[in-house]
Structure 1
Amino acid sequence: MLTLEPIDRDLLAGGFGPAAANAMRLLQRYGEVVGADRFISIRSAHIDGCLYHGPSSIDFVKRFADLGGQVRVPTTLNVAAVDVVHPGWHQGPPEIIDAQRELTALHEQVGCLATLTCAPYQRMNQPMLGEHIAWAESNAIVFANSVLGARTDRYGDFTDLCAAFTGRVPYAGLHRPENRLATLLVEVPAPSEFGLPRDLYFACLGYVLGRQSIGHVPAITNLAVANRDELKALGAAAASSGALALFHVVGITPEADTAIADPEALPCIKITAEDLRKALATLCPVQPGEPLAAVCLGTPHFSLSEFEHLSDMVRRQSEIAKIEVYVSTSREIEAMIRSDGRFAPLFDFGIEIVVDTCTYLAPVVRERQGAIATNSGKWAHYGPGNLRRRVGLMTLERCLRSATLGHVAPDDQR
């Protein structure tokens, strides 16, 4: 049974306005369903309902806006259904553009910050270790829990917005420390055993990890070094293939040392290099010489360090791209890229920066014929179903070579 604190009763009674009262009533029912015994306060929220899926997307937030609602904690927005900064790129139904503009404006009206990024953890104001938050978007959830050590359950449309209006969430799921303990040990091959570059290793490892640890909190062993972008790629792929919301990496992630109470008592699985190669074969069915329509990067949104690496790589290319090359990122990072002369090689090569959305969601690729290359396990997992296109997961280096050729480049690593 839910025990209400004075702040909860005040919210329900309308002490913070009718919008907050309405949101709290919905959260109370949600808390009863998930078996929570009380509510806790959060420090921030990240909203996924800002992505237009139909009239109900607008109807929900408009109800709160009409009631004069304002969010009570810093609240950011996930990606939109279309890049409204470059509406001419949109290849889908034109009416979505205006609908998305209205939906974003309504969220801004109630106090949300229009970051429109799936990677809010790349902003300066990041949640701290142990801090309770209410984040939606699968890759943001798994990154916040695993890499930052913040605490969020899997929130989605529209509990995320209710949490923002109240500043409260049920004390359940991954907010509770006992639910953050490892329940599965996962031995993984070292990147050298995989025999392929590190970007493919982390994408494929995440894809296999998600599928093999459904319902568990896995603790990965034998992974000595991984940077934030690599952990981002791993978590995004695992969240896509298996809805993973939290993983630990022994010796790397902040809670790993305390998450394994008794290693001998935990079940253990071993992911092999062959498992990763099979995953790559699934995610990259395209063949050398096959025509390409585009290269799509930035799922999750590219970080500043990823742009630095990409700029260095295109600088070494002797030719420019013959096909479209899109990189998705946030407005904030795009502004940094465009104001810094170090990144001029990106635009000389022919790269286009997409903001506010991800290209596996928003149809921006103009060429109808040919496959799409990506270096993202998440993109390769969702792209074929969402866009009805053939997709090939490749190294970033092979993506760029393919872009200069206009077709799938030979895989020199095999």
Structure 2
Amino acid sequence: MSKFETALAIVPGCAQGPVVALSEALSFWGGVDPATGRVIDTHHPQHGAELAGAVVMMPTSRGSCSGSGVILELTLAGRAPAALVFSEPEDVATLGAVVAAEMFGQTLPVLRLSPPAFAALARAGSARVTEDAILADGIEIPVAPAPDVSLPLSGNDRAMLAGEMGEAAALAMRIIAAMARQQGAAGLTDVTRAHIDGCIYAGAANLLFAETMEAKGGRVRVPTTMNAISVDLQNWRRQNVPPAFGTPAASLADAYVRMGCRPTFTCAPYLLDDAPEAGEAIGWSESNAVIFANSVLGARTAKHPDFLDLCIALTGRAPLAGAFLDAERRARLVIDVHLPEGADAAVWPLIGYLAGHAARDRVPLLRGLAAGNPGRDDLKALCAAFGTTAAAPMLHIEGVTPEAEGAALPGAPRSVITLAELATGWRALNDGPEEVQLVAIGSPHASIEECRSFAVALGGRRRDPRVTAIVTAGRQVLAAAEADGTRARLAASGVEMIPDICWCSITRPVFPADARTVLTNSGKYAHYGPGLSGCAVRFGTLADCAEAVVSGLAPVYLPGWLA
């Protein structure tokens, strides 16, 4: 029997099942159906794989911070993998397993293997995990608990752990400390603010977590904003959302508000008037928001999983690890981008999407983009698409982002995004028919500038009655659009603006029941949309979206700047 280097039991436990080895990272949110445990990411090589009851292996996770909620939902419903096995550090799925064990007594083992052991286990048909070993097809991999590293704590931290500031704060601090230890954090750090992503309703587990924390006396200690939720809070009944979904989704949002969170309900908190400043330590969740805050604003936050976001808000403390540290903000990959002459705004999400694939969990430095003079919305689209395909919490763009100069580590490997690769990316996100029934704008939430540009592109023309057109945006942007007449101009063209929800949380019947093909200007939603909606989702420019609104068609084409 072959033996290997000892595996670390990040979350200890016993399990057995068939081995399902994923060839690349996966986002559990938008990539796995929480009702079945099946891979629904149509762009993933193992699309359709059944993960429930399996020993699931992948290098690490990627994409959405909400994956921890999917893991908790699967675990509490009895549809989780038998075990999760990684070869690299991983936080999002791990946090879901930590919460399941810490709060609900449900064990989902999480293990980290050396590359040789990982490669050997990936070839096995099935595996058994015990407290001491992983046994599979002639392979024995010793298992040991993760080192019980001493975590420096302040007097205030210890007081919270001891329950002196309430049961919820004590539980939150236990979860933070557990994550800090598995991350190898040097300690904990104060944060000035938090942003909650766990208010999206992935299932009953999300509501159970929030209501449990509230019942234990949870109250945020730092100013805390909220992500987009899963219903238009004031209008979901009028929109005929079934009460079986609308009631718990609204209750989830209400629970966070009662704990002191600000009902901003936006996945683009950096568009709010009080965005973080450079160097400010914050505790944000939501992948696109984290990447924008670190990369464009120069603030500092790790990519915190759902549930850890509330724990940070309840304590004002976060693990001192990841992008909080200077060393972890350095670029470990340099990507030279061949920016096409005459490229339009669609190039930015394409670049982010491809850069995320290349970077994986490494912070990259992108070069060759300064001449394109990207604006805030361009960078928003790039960061969101990057966060869809990468695990890294930030990126640098030479000549554009504030920390790019000198960011690359000496000897960092180099990669290239060519014109041909951009064209391949465009085609990968444009698989679907020309006839469109839905145009989707606002993933992440649209800015007021995007709303105005869309109104200009429509030019007062009326929507084809066969098409539904929806812009999702935060309440602050909707108020601005109301004040300057943009909302009225969009409405005159038959375009609806909806608050609170975004395209990664929208459900039927707000998402039209008869839609078969969707056109979006979001690289993020072009990736997640097919799995989340069951529709073909195509990618185009804002101008393409406007033409589809009035004609019902989105011709399949390759932009001239990609030819």
TM-score scaled by length of structure 2: 0.69
Q: Percent identity?
A: 36
Q: Is the 8 A contact 2:454 2:546 kept in 1?
A: no
Residue 320 of structure 2 corresponds to residue 171 of structure 1: yes
Q: Is the 8 A contact 1:326 1:352 kept in 2?
A: yes
Q: Paired residue for 2:543?
A: 397
CA distance in 2, matches of 1:121, 1:169: 20
Q: Paired residue for 2:491?
A: 347
Deviation at 1:270, TM superposition (A): 0.8
Q: Which amino acid aligns with 1:52?
A: Y
Q: Is the 8 A contact 1:235 1:244 kept in 2?
A: no
User: Any gaps of 5 or more consecutive residues in structure 2?
Assistant: 1-149
Deviation at 1:272, TM superposition (A): 0.2
Q: Paired residue for 2:36?
A: none
Q: Paired residue for 1:362?
A: 506
Q: Paired residue for 2:390?
A: 242
Q: How does 1:94-243 map to 2 (within 5 A)?
A: 94-192=243-341, 197-224=343-370, 225-243=373-391
Tell me: CA distance 1:412–1:279, structure 2 relative to 1, closer, same or farther (3 Å): closer
Q: How does 1:312-331 map to 2 (within 5 A)?
A: 312-315=456-459, 318-322=461-465, 323-331=467-475
CA distance in 2, matches of 1:259, 1:314: 41
CA distance in 1, matches of 2:261, 2:385: 28
CA distance in 2, matches of 1:117, 1:34: 29
TM-score scaled by length of structure 1: 0.93
CA distance in 1, matches of 2:388, 2:239: 24
Deviation at 1:187, TM superposition (A): 0.3
Tell me: CA distance 1:320–1:153, structure 2 relative to 1, closer, same or farther (3 Å): same
Tell me: CA distance 1:94–1:292, structure 2 relative to 1, closer, same or farther (3 Å): farther
Tell me: CA distance 1:397–1:89, structure 2 relative to 1, closer, same or farther (3 Å): farther
Q: Is the 8 A contact 1:41 1:167 kept in 2?
A: yes
1:1-33 CA distances to partner (integer Å, 9 max, x unpaired)? Answer: 211112211222233222212211221111111
1:331-370 CA distances to partner (integer Å, 9 max, x unpaired)? Answer: 1211221122255321111110121111343122325253
CA distance in 1, matches of 2:388, 2:201: 20
Q: Is the 8 A contact 1:293 1:365 kept in 2?
A: no
DSSP 3-state at the match of 2:251: helix
Whose helix proportion is higher, 1 or 2? 1
The equivalent position to 1:268 in structure 2, one of 392, 411, 414, is: 414
**RMSD (Å), alpha carbons:** 1.8
CA distance in 1, matches of 2:556, 2:185: 54
Deviation at 1:398, TM superposition (A): 1.2
Residue 293 of structure 2 corresponds to residue 293 of structure 1: no
1:49-72 CA distances to partner (integer Å, 9 max, x unpaired)? Answer: 111122221221212211222100
Flag as ranges the 4+ runs of structure 1 deviating above 3 A: 88-94, 317-322, 409-414
Relative contact order, CA 8 A, sep 6+: which one is greater? 1
CA distance in 2, matches of 1:396, 1:367: 24
CA distance in 2, matches of 1:25, 1:217: 29
Residue 204 of structure 2 corresponds to residue 55 of structure 1: yes
DSSP 3-state at the match of 2:437: strand
- Which is greater in Rg? 2
Deviation at 1:174, TM superposition (A): 1.2
Residue 450 of structure 2 corresponds to residue 306 of structure 1: yes
CA distance in 2, matches of 1:266, 1:199: 29
Deviation at 1:128, TM superposition (A): 1.2
CA distance in 2, matches of 1:389, 1:382: 11
Q: Is the 8 A contact 2:430 2:556 kept in 1?
A: no
CA distance in 1, matches of 2:381, 2:498: 19
Tell me: CA distance 1:89–1:272, structure 2 relative to 1, closer, same or farther (3 Å): farther
